[in-house]
Amino acid sequence: MKKSKRLWIIDWGEALIKIVLGEVNDSGSVRIIDFRIEKNPKQIWPETNPETKRATSKLLRLLFKGYQCTDEVMLLINQAEMMVATFTFPMMSLADLEDAIYWQMQLLTSEDLDHWRIDFVARVQNQWFECLGMDEQTLDVVGVAIKKAQLTRYTRFFKKNGRSLNAIVPQFYTFDSLLIEQDDQSTLIIDIGNRSTRLFHYKGNVLSENNQIELESGWDGVVYLQQIIKAVEQIFISPLGCEKVGRDGTIYLMGGESLHPGVREYLSKSMGTDVQSIDELLEANQSLFFTKQISRAQLCLITPCVCGLMKYAQIRGGKN
């Protein structure tokens, strides 16, 4: 029997740094051993002077208190500079798929993609043509690109401070660990951050659309929420005026800014639907255990880290 694996998941947010230490066993159960939530210091990237270096080392020691040399570390990234796009392709070979994704991602930037790391997730889907009495297999693809120099920067930063990164993972890759795979199920996750809001629309457990709203200077809270509502309407309504989410669609909120009093209620009233907090999905998960007391607000903040552990457990157990 394999020994349970200890894994640190760190989510370096715009305002807060969240880190979770968890343990994953062979059965797929995830045990949260510890978690920490700290303010994100300014000018910590890069380390420009000896004083900053000392502050950085002190912060990393605090965040990784209890770290063992056999532990693994995963960094979640969700930067604005990261390119994310969704595609649907006909069935093709892996080599042809890689070429197709490369050229589609090239359309998103004028820069040379040789300086970018491209990753993707592809799932086989069936399209049923009722009038012809036949079905056709297609590939639903999520492509992600980030500059190689940025990945090198992350790796060096942690290595200089005594922690080697075992994985750098786009944050939203892990969210499908919360979702039950159903073809007709539509889920929207709204991540309201300190400087931007990201919206992830899933069909089943496959990312269908993603959008981002930057918080512009001079916007007050109400104007910001109204911009979020407009973005939600664009996601849920097709150009032909048909609802894409359907009656079974569910909207979840996460992120530090979603915890302000009245935010969830305002969005629920304005959109005419019950907007839920993301922690409700975690609380319903039977394979998740906490060894220390945690508030709903804390659970909401560390959700990406917990999702990282759950995704790792699925892969370790051969479930995905």
CA distances from 164 to 53, 64, 72, 112, 310 (A): 17, 12, 8, 29, 21
Alpha helical stretches, state H, the chain: 50-63, 94-106, 148-160, 221-236, 263-271, 279-283, 296-301, 303-316
Stretch 100-128: mean pLDDT, rounded? Answer: 82
**Tens-digit pLDDT profile for residues 306-318:** 999 988 888 766 4
Q: What is the mean pLDDT of residues 102-115?
A: 86
Of 203 and 72, more confident = 72
CA-based nearest residue to 191, from 279, 268, 267, 253: 253
Give the pLDDT score at 303.
92
CA gap 169, 184 in Å, rounded: 27
CB 120 within 8 A of CB 102: no
How does pLDDT run across 208-230, given as a tens digit for each residue?
888 888 887 777 888 889 999 99
pTM, rounded to two decimals:
0.82
With cut-offs at 50, 70 and 90, classify the pLDDT of residue 305: very high
pLDDT confidence of 253, banded at 50, 70, 90? very high
Place of tokens 């950085």: 56
